[in-house]
Amino acid sequence: MSRVLVITTSLRARSNSDRLAEELIAGAKDAGHDVEHISLKGRQIKFCVGCLACQKTQKCLLMDDAVEIAEKVKEADTLVFVTPIYYYEMSGQMKTLLDRLNPLFPSDYKFRSIYMLSVAAEDEAYVPEKAVSGLQGWVDCFEKAELIDTLFCGGINDAGEAEQHRAKLEEAYEFGRQLK
């Protein structure tokens, strides 16, 4: 099976996206994958300054937690980004991390399969579209990678509320089981 890296991007305590990610991780492990989880909670990730030095050196000049995360992303076979939806978009910290993964562009990255799990208070099908589009834009820059699938769990808002949504927790588990 593959080495899966799950990156959760919510900074909220008792995050619903974190709870759904736990189920996704359990499903992926039960399917035989080697799974590592990184949370952006408590991480220091600076904004990309656009110097493009990383395109020559494959290393970022900014020294923070994004450097370590980028190395783990580079070595994973499968990436899963987990984000709450804020204003119909991925979380700001997820976007900041994606920008900081720019040193991987010219590198010999291993990831091929990319997935996204998103969570929002609203439950309409269109809610995650811009977040998915934003991630797809990042994936499009990595010609050996593909956005394979996404799962949206809407109708979940208050901290800890995911526990009351057994069907959505089961969906997240099954989503984890079907990772490549």
pLDDT digits (tens, 9 = 90+) for 51-72: 999 999 999 999 999 999 999 9
Cα separation, 84 vs 106, in Å, equals 29
Q: How far is CA 5 from CA 10, 102, 132, 179, in A?
A: 16, 17, 18, 11
Q: How far is CA 45 from CA 50, 106, 173, in A?
A: 15, 21, 29
Judged on CB neighbours under 10 Å (0-12, 13-18, 19+), 110 is middle
Specify the pLDDT at position 169: 96
Specify the pLDDT at position 140: 98
Specify the pLDDT at position 180: 92
Specify the pLDDT at position 161: 87
Specify the pLDDT at position 92: 97
Q: How far is CA 117 from CA 52, 56, 98, 121, 160, in A?
A: 30, 33, 15, 14, 17
Specify the pLDDT at position 89: 98
Tens-digit pLDDT string for the chain (180 aa): 899 999 999 999 889 999 999 999 999 999 999 999 999 999 999 999 999 999 999 999 999 999 999 999 999 999 999 999 999 999 999 999 999 999 999 999 999 999 999 999 999 999 999 999 999 999 999 999 999 999 999 999 988 889 888 999 999 999 999 999
Specify the pLDDT at position 97: 98
Q: Which residue ranges form the domains of the chain, and what is each CATH number?
A: 3-177 (3.40.50.360)
* DSSP reduced 3-state for 74: helix
